[in-house]
Amino acid sequence: MADKNWSKTVRAVMSTGLFIVFAACGGGGDDRGNDYERRTTIVSATVFDINGDPVEDARVTVSSDPVTATTDASGLFIAGIEEGDHEISIKMGSLEIYSGSFRCYKDIPKYLGDIYTSYEPWIVEITDILPPGWSWSYIHDNNDNGDVVGYGSDGSVIKSFIYSGGTYTEILPPGWLSAYGLRISDAGEAVGYGTSAGTDKGFLYSNGTYVELLPPGWVWAWAIRNNNNGGVVGGGNDGSTNKGFFYADGVYVELIPPGWLWATAYGINDNGDIAGWGADGNGVGKGYIYKSGAYTEILPPGWTSATAYAINDNEETVGEGTDGYGIEKGFIFRNGMYIELLPEGWSDLVPEDINNSGQVAGYGTDGPVIKGFLYINGHFIHMHHPDRPNAGIIAVNSTGEATGVGYGNGYSNMGFIARITRNIPE
């Protein structure tokens, strides 16, 4: 059925940063041009953000001289001024990074110091998603059109749902006791798993119709992810061994690397490349990529175990595992190389998804709480739910919009959409 309901939105700052300014004055003359030589001394400032990147176009004003200019591409401002007492102001848009007074002499260079100014580099807009009358929800994925899929309880039965354009559509295959929706394609096709007649099965939902997914002869199966070309991957048991599977157009392909004890399939991209994990013949946990009929094993150097959860169209793969020191970390596998993922101070990390821009979504433990994160261009954005201390980010679409769940502190699970924007002062 389809229904409309409100969804609560909270706009909140979820990350903190710094502007860092190195300022100095004194000396005189300069080989950069006559402008400095006409003045008796100089003042300079270099501005960086929290990531150590230079800040261009920060506006610097020496009001008592007066001099006004902006920092260049290297974050540098330099100007000639007269000797004496001065006031300086540095702004990024409407945000004042620094203001103060200083005394400057030609023959006495003076370091004005390092100035640290708090600001908020990212704004995260959290929208709670809960179908009408339901007691809890868990958002597991979002497509590039902004549609989301998840599951929860209506008070008696665990069901799946799609939320699209303010409308909820409940998903429960006929006769099934439960349904857990995990992934949704851009065409609105959702996959997941549930229980029917005592057996766990996968399902594919499309425009009101259901396809039950259980490879022939298998005793159970879960459908975990699908792509935009009708392909579905998951895992289950053939009666003796846990294996992964690929499904498309009524045909199943079993997936287990040669010699492995067991495996499952977990992620698939639009090229049909598949990511999964399992245990090799020696019982070592490893990830794998299945491409064009061939398997590539994944285990970062020195690690004792690894998984592979998601793969994007550029064959960038994410997973987690344990390094040689017993620390649980995430990783990105790209062009045969590994990038380890673990924010400073965190004790573990689980990356769940990676979009085609290379942005990674996941969660991990930071002290006493679980936090969600996005990893963008080498930097972590930490996220939490406004009402609940713990949060997990499960998916991120190609627009950078993320989905997940907040929980804990006596509250029921609450699925949410997180829209992230860069906070640039104006």
Residue 177 included in any domain:
yes
Residue 3 included in any domain:
no
Residue numbers of the domain that contains 276: 123-422
Q: Which residues pair with 237 in a beta bridge?
A: 220, 242
Residue 80 included in any domain:
yes
Do residue 140 and residue 25 come from a single domain? no
Do residue 237 and residue 321 come from a single domain? yes
Do residue 228 and residue 333 come from a single domain? yes
Share the mean pLDDT of the chain.
Answer: 86
Residue pair 95/425 in contact by the 8 Å Cβ criterion: yes
Residue 127 included in any domain:
yes
Do residue 164 and residue 223 come from a single domain? yes
Q: Where does a domain end: 76, 101, 119?
A: 119
Pairing of strands 199-206, 209-213: antiparallel
Q: Where does a domain end: 119, 150, 176?
A: 119
Do residue 38 and residue 108 come from a single domain? yes
- Judged against a pLDDT cut of 70, whether residue 110 lies above it is answered with no
pLDDT tens sequence across 248-280 = 999 999 999 999 999 999 999 999 999 999 999
Residue pair 285/305 in contact by the 8 Å Cβ criterion: yes
Do residue 136 and residue 198 come from a single domain? yes
| First-last CA distance in the chain | 45
Residue 1 included in any domain:
no
Residue 109 included in any domain:
yes
Contacts of 65 (CB under 8 A, 6+ apart): 81, 82, 86
Contacts of 22 (CB under 8 A, 6+ apart): 45, 46, 48, 114
Do residue 101 and residue 210 come from a single domain? no
Provide the pLDDT confidence category of residue 115 given band limits of 50, 70 and 90: low
Residue 7 included in any domain:
no
What is the CB-side half-sphere exposure of residue 241 using CA atoms within 13 A?
A: 16
Do residue 175 and residue 241 come from a single domain? yes
> Residue 158: left (phi > 0), alpha (psi -120 to 50), or beta?
beta
Q: Which pairs count as long-range contacts for 231-237, CB under 8 Å and 24+ apart, including other chains?
A: 231/268, 231/272, 232/191, 232/202, 232/204, 232/268, 233/265, 233/266, 233/267, 233/268, 233/274, 233/276, 234/191, 234/193, 234/202, 234/264, 234/265, 235/263, 235/264, 235/265, 235/266, 235/276, 236/200, 236/202
Provide the pLDDT confidence category of residue 383 given band limits of 50, 70 and 90: confident
Give the chain's domain count: 2
List Cα–Cα distances, 289 to 185, 331, 423, in angstroms: 21, 14, 37
Distance between CA atoms of residues 90 and 73, nearest Å:
16
User: Distance from CA of residue 234 to its chain's centroid?
Assistant: 23
Do residue 278 and residue 396 come from a single domain? yes
- Averaged pLDDT, 131-149: 97
Q: Which of 229, 227, 189, 228 is nearest to 211 (CA)?
A: 189
What is the CB-side half-sphere exposure of residue 316 using CA atoms within 13 A?
A: 15
Residue pair 274/289 in contact by the 8 Å Cβ criterion: yes
Residue pair 373/380 in contact by the 8 Å Cβ criterion: yes
Do residue 113 and residue 132 come from a single domain? no
Q: Which of 170, 309, 188 is nearest to 244 (CA)?
A: 309
Residue pair 254/262 in contact by the 8 Å Cβ criterion: no
**CATH code: domain of residue 93:** 2.60.40
Residue 106's pLDDT is 67
Residue 308 included in any domain:
yes
- Averaged pLDDT, 396-411: 93
Distance between CA atoms of residues 294 and 284, nearest Å:
20
Could you write out the three-class secondary structure of 254-300? EECCCCCCEEEEEEECCCCCEEEEEECCCCCEEEEEEECCEEEEECC
- Averaged pLDDT, 318-345: 96
- Judged against a pLDDT cut of 50, whether residue 368 lies above it is answered with yes
Provide the pLDDT confidence category of residue 27 given band limits of 50, 70 and 90: low
Do residue 101 and residue 217 come from a single domain? no
Q: Where does a domain end: 64, 84, 119?
A: 119
- Judged against a pLDDT cut of 80, whether residue 108 lies above it is answered with no
**CATH code: domain of residue 274:** 2.130.10.150
Tell me 108's DSSP state: B
Do residue 130 and residue 275 come from a single domain? yes
